[in-house]
Structures are given as C-alpha cells and as structure tokens.
C-alpha cells in the first residue's frame, strides 16, 4: 500500500450544468436570490453531479471508531471505555446517529479501527483493527507510517462501499474518547494557532479541565514542532485512526465524484487536513453545522465554509451532518420542482 493515490486529482466540476442550474434559479417563481443559501447549494450540487437538477436519494454514513493514547492525559470528561461501548450502541441502534440514519433511510456503516475496550465481532460492524489505540503523542508520534496508510485506506474503502451502493452523499462520522484533543492539536499545527484560542470543552470539561487540555496540547505541539510542515506528517504525529480514515474518505470521495457532507469540529479538522493534502477535494464538501466546540469557527473560516445549521450541537458521530440532509434534499426538490415564470404564468421583473 502506498499513499500515491492521495494525490490523484478530484473529479472536475461540470461548469455547464452549474451554469444551467444558476440560470434556472433565476427563472423560478420567486424573487431572484430569495432562497439564499439553498440556491447556492443546488447550484454547487448541479456542478458536482453534472446535471442541472441535482438529487440526493441515497445517503451513506460511515462512523469510524478508534481510541487515543492521549486519553491517558486526562483530557476528556468521559472514560476511554466509552469508545468500545458506543461501537456496540451504534450497531444495536441506540446511538444518536443510529436513530438519525434510520429516519433518513441512510446506510449506517460502522468501522472499528481499534478500541482499548474491544467489543469483539459484532454484526454490522466492520472489524479493521489497526491497534488498540494510537500512541500518546505527548512524546512520540500517534501513528507509525504503516498505521497511517492503513487508516487512510479504510476511509477510501468506505467510499468504495458507498459508491457500490449507489450513494450520492457520503457522511463521515467519528467516535473516539479524546479525539477533540487530537483534532485540536492537528488544527493548531495546520492553522498555526495557539492552543488556548481553539481548545474547547469536548464532551464537557469544566474551565479547569479545558485549561489542562490546552496545556497538554501546547506540550504536544511543542514536541512535534519542526516535523509537521507536511500535513500528512502532522496527521501521523497528532491525529487518530478515525481522523485519518475521515481524511482518506474525503479525498477519495472527491476523486470518485461523491459529495461529502462534513459534520462538526473533528470532521472539519479532517476536512482541513484533506484540503491541505489535496486542495481539489474542497469543492466536493458541503458543511452541515457549526459545532459548539470552541475551535470550530476558526476551522470553518480557514475552509471558507458557511455551514447550513447552528444548533449548538457538539456530539460528532456524523449527527450534525445527518441533521442537514433534509435541507440538502429540499434544496434539490425546489430546484427541480418549482415552476418557472412562464410555466406558471407569473410576471417576471422588468
Ligand atoms: C457517550 C458518548 C457518545 C459520543 N458520541 C460522540 N462523542 C464525541 O465525544 C468524543 C470527543 O470528546 P472528548 O475529546 O472530550 O473525549 C468523541 O468520541 C466524539 O465523537 C461521544 C462522547 C460520549 C461520552
Ligand atoms: O463538533 C464535534 O464534532 C464534537 C464536539 C465535541 C465532542 N465531540 C464532537
């Protein structure tokens, strides 16, 4: 396995479909621009799907789960055993993303990349164990080269499953106690930001907990400084298996022409890394929501992303992205089914 595939270009946007969709928006029975962001969404999707009237029927959600060595530094409000326990909960249908996937009639695919509390073989969970957890990146790289390659490849494999099922939209979710610490450390390096600016409460740390978490991140960033100019190396040193799998899935989805709906803070940091590695994949990303996690806005700004929802959510699992699916579907339905001025006999301006 090599990493050369990461550099393959993203599928190009179809400009003529995008232009046709933009012209159609101006011809529909509404004041020009009155559907705001829904118009921009339908136009972007038309270019990506190479048809003037885009549609999102089948949605594929993959939740990548993995544990983090950095969890032993006391950076989460919850114990590490939760990661493995939640894998079981995803499969048995009781997690937030399980409920949302059912409501959307979306495929829910769960990939266990390595949990300290190993739930073992479970129906409906792909077992792709890389290691029980990453290494503690306070004084060593989180992953070996080989582990990074395998995690990225698991992301690409999830996209292949989505494509074989005929899905038009890919949502990547994550589960891993401690992963807001890994994502924040990675964001600090990619954005050249200071840890206090972007470190947040994750699952619910108090003020003192957030201060401690920011100090841990600052120590880790200082240890790895000098080796993280390359985004892939930053990902290897400070990321996690599930974060790397998200990166691999985002790059692969753009290469295979599958639209991605990015979830919250952790997913957005993975998106930031994916764009740093292969800038062409930015075009294939839609951003679902603004997470309550402190650093999210900084990451969204760096990606020039304007998310669809702002509900104060801070869960992960792909839940915010799932929430935004009906909006994406409705934007497509409006573009397709609204009458034009001439069809409806409504007078246009001028
Ligand atoms: C029961 C439970 C379910 C979750 N589902 C997602 N997360 C979220 O919280 C974790 C990140 O926060 P931190 O860095 O503070 O540990 C990740 O697993 C993330 O997906 C959960 C967390 C818990 C406790
Ligand atoms: O926005 C997220 O993805 C998030 C925030 C806090 C905890 N877990 C996930």
Question: Could you list the pLDDT tens digit for every one of the 350 residues in the chain?
Answer: 689 999 999 999 999 999 999 999 999 999 999 999 999 999 999 999 999 999 999 999 999 999 999 999 999 999 999 999 999 999 999 999 999 999 999 999 999 999 999 999 999 999 999 999 999 999 999 999 999 999 999 999 999 999 999 999 999 999 999 999 999 999 999 999 999 999 999 999 999 999 999 999 999 999 999 999 999 999 999 999 999 999 999 999 999 999 999 999 999 999 999 999 999 999 999 999 999 999 999 999 999 999 999 999 999 999 999 999 999 999 999 999 999 999 999 999 87
* 179, 44: one domain: no
Whether 36 and 77 map to the same domain: the answer is no
Scanning the structure block, which residue is given the tokens 């998200």? 246
176-212: b (≥16 Cβ within 10 Å) or e: bbbbbbbbbbbbbbbbebebeebbbbbbebeeebbeb
Whether residues 244 and 287 share a domain: the answer is yes
- The answer on 78 and 21 residing in a single domain is no
Say how far apart CA 199 and CA 187 lie, in whole Å: 10
Which numbered ligand comes closest to the C-alpha of 175?
1
120 alpha-carbon distance from chain centroid: 26
Catalytic residues: 317
Asked, for residue 111, whether it belongs to a domain, the answer is: yes
Residue 28 lies in a domain: yes
Asked if 175 and 192 sit in the same domain, the reply is: yes
Distance 4 CA to ligand 2 centre (A): 30
Residue to probe by mutation, ligand 1, list 86, 201, 203, most atoms within 8 Å of CB: 203
**Adjacent-strand bridge partners of 309:** 289
Number of domains in the chain: 2
Q: Are residues 26 and 168 in the same domain?
A: no
Q: Quick one: which H or E segment has residue 105?
A: none
Residue 96 maps to a domain? yes
* Residue 134 alpha carbon to ligand 2 centre in Å: 19
Domain contains 287: yes
CA distance 29 to 167: 31
- Is the minimum distance from the CB of 82 to ligand 1 under 6 angstroms? yes
Cα 62 to ligand 2 centre (Å) = 16
Rounded distance between C-alpha atoms, residue 109 and residue 128, angstroms: 13
Provide the CATH number for the domain around residue 275.
3.40.50.10210
Residue with tokens 């240890």: 223
> 290: CA distance to ligand 1 center in Å?
17
Whether ligand 1 lies within 6 angstroms of the CB of 180 is answered as yes
Q: Is residue 211 part of a domain?
A: yes
Tokens of 319: 């839940």
Half-sphere exposure of 61 (CA within 13 A, CB side): 31
On whether both 189 and 129 belong to a single domain, the answer is: yes
Q: Are 15 and 103 contained in the same domain?
A: no
- Residue 50: left (phi > 0), alpha (psi -120 to 50), or beta? left
User: By CB neighbour count within 10 A (0-12 exposed, 13-18 middle, 19+ buried), where does 30 fall?
Assistant: middle
Q: Is residue 349 a part of any domain in this protein?
A: no
In a domain? residue 350:
no
Do 95 and 20 reside in the same domain of the chain?
no
Do 212 and 163 share a domain, yes or no? yes
**Looking at residue 2, what is its pLDDT?**
84
Do residues 49 and 147 share a domain?
Answer: no
The CATH number of residue 42's host domain is 1.10.1610.10
Torsion, Cα of 348, 56, 283, 317 (10° steps): 130
Question: Does 269 contact ligand 1 (Cβ within 6 A)?
Answer: no
- Does residue 140 lie in a domain region? yes
Closest by alpha carbon to 55, among 328, 253, 307?
Answer: 328
**Domain carrying residue 27:** 4-54+334-344
Six token digits for residue 221 = 């960033």
Distance of CA 304 to the CA centre of its chain: 15
- What residues have CB less than 8 Å from 6, skipping those under 6 apart? 152, 232, 248, 251, 277, 278
Closest ligand 1 atom to residue 201 Cα is 15
Residues 236 and 192 in one domain: yes
Atom 9 in ligand 2: which residue has the minimum CA distance? 316
Could you give the CA distance from residue 228 to residue 128 in angstroms, rounded to a whole number?
Answer: 27
Residues with CB under 6 Å of ligand 2 are: 180, 202-203, 263-267, 291, 293, 314-316
């Amino acid at each position: 396995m090599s990493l050369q595939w990461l550099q393959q270009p993203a599928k190009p946007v179809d400009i003529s479909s995008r232009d046709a969709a933009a012209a159609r928006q101006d011809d529909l029975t509404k004041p020009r621009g009155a559907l705001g962001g829904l118009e921009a969404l339908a136009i972007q999707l038309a270019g990506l799907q190479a048809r003037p009237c885009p549609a999102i029927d089948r949605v594929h959600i993959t939740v990548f789960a993995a544990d983090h060595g950095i969890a032993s530094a006391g950076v989460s409000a919850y114990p590490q055993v939760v990661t493995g326990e939640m894998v079981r909960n995803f499969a048995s249908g009781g997690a937030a993303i399980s409920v949302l996937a059912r409501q959307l009639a979306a495929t829910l695919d769960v990939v266990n990349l390595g949990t300290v509390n190993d739930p073992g073989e479970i129906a409906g969970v792909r077992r792709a164990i890389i290691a029980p957890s990453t290494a503690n990146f306070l004084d060593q790289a989180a992953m070996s080269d080989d582990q990074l390659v395998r995690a990225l490849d698991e992301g690409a494999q999830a996209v292949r499953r989505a494509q074989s099922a005929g899905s038009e939209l890919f949502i990547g979710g994550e589960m891993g106690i401690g992963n807001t610490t890994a994502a924040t450390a990675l964001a600090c390096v990619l954005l050249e930001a200071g840890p206090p600016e972007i470190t947040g409460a994750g699952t619910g740390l108090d003020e003192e907990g957030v201060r401690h978490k920011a100090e841990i991140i600052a120590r880790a960033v200082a240890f790895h400084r000098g080796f993280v100019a390359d985004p892939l190396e930053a990902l290897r040193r400070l990321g996690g298996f599930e974060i790397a799998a998200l990166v691999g899935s985002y790059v692969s989805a753009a290469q295979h022409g599958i639209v991605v709906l990015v979830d919250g803070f952790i997913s957005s940091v993975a998106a930031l890394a994916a764009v740093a590695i292969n800038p062409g994949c930015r075009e294939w990303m839609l951003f679902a929501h603004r997470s309550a996690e402190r650093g999210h806005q900084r990451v969204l700004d760096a990606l020039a992303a304007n998310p669809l929802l702002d509900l104060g959510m801070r869960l992960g699992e792909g839940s915010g992205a799932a929430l935004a699916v009906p909006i994406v579907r409705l934007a497509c339905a409006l573009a397709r089914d609204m009458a034009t001025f001439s069809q409806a006999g409504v007078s246009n301006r001028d």
